[in-house]
Amino acid sequence: MGEIIRAQSWGLNGYQRQTTSELAAMGENIINFPQLTSCGTATAISLPCLFSNMPHQHYKANQPKHQEGLLDILQRAGVDVLWRNNNGGCKGVCERIRHVDVRNWAPDLKCNSDGCLDESLLINLRAVMARLPDDAVLVLHMIGSHGSAYYQRYPDAFRHFMPTYDTNQIQQCTTEQLCNTLR
């Protein structure tokens, strides 16, 4: 779950630069929803909206916590649902399903107040997936490019587009640096 990514910058959607090379390499095993939109740009709004039955034009922020969302319904239908989090909580979406925060199960990681590297969500993932039944949904909630300190949350090996910005003073960065860093 990377609810803050812009569809226009998503390689799987035809963006001219391949920003999703690892996913693209998985071929037919990936399901992409190119027309998916969110009700807002803040996680507290976008997550509950994306997992609710409310379309954008009828979304009301206080309603999702008073009704079942997609994950609740899947769980009730017998699907095993697990949420792994690296982004300040699930904003109520995972309250009634199994969920773990990366900082709670991998305390030896070098995390800071923003969270851990998103690759931390992958620790022991194969073992977790091997224990899941055939009918299962696993949500990996990434911190992604939230906030101006994004440059601190990905390793140099992932700096594919240059030049990047390496400051949280984004007003001093060029448009090219912002695009290269956040995409």
In a domain, 155, yes or no: no
In the prediction, which pLDDT does 135 show? 93
Q: Could you report the per-residue pLDDT of 58-90, keeping only the tens digit for each?
A: 777 777 777 889 999 999 999 999 999 988 888
Cβ atoms of 120 and 101 within 8 Å: the answer is no
Mean pLDDT of 10-32: 86
In a domain, 115, yes or no: yes
Residue 80 phi, psi dihedral angles, 5° rounding: -80, 125
Query: Which residues constitute the domain of residue 94?
Result: 7-146
The count of domains in the chain is 1
In a domain, 170, yes or no: no
CATH classification at residue 81 = 3.40.720.10
Cβ atoms of 115 and 88 within 8 Å: the answer is yes
Mean pLDDT of 42-52: 85
In a domain, 180, yes or no: no
Q: Does the pLDDT of residue 183 top 70, yes or no?
A: no
In a domain, 19, yes or no: yes
Average pLDDT of the chain is 83
Cβ atoms of 111 and 123 within 8 Å: the answer is no
In the prediction, which pLDDT does 74 show? 96
Closest CA to 8 of 35, 29, 26, 28: 35
H/E/C letters for each residue in 65-134?
Answer: HHCCCHHHHHHHCCCEEEEEECCCCCCCCCCCCEEEEHHHHCCCCCCECCECCHHHHHCCHHHHHHHCCC
Mean pLDDT of 141-148: 77
In a domain, 102, yes or no: yes
In a domain, 151, yes or no: no
In the prediction, which pLDDT does 114 show? 63
Rounded to an integer, what distance in angstroms lies between the CA atom of residue 42 and that of residue 89?
A: 13
In a domain, 178, yes or no: no
- Beta bridge partners of residue 57, listed in sequence order: none
Q: Could you report the per-residue pLDDT of 87-132, keeping only the tens digit for each?
A: 888 888 999 999 998 887 766 676 776 668 888 888 889 999 999 9
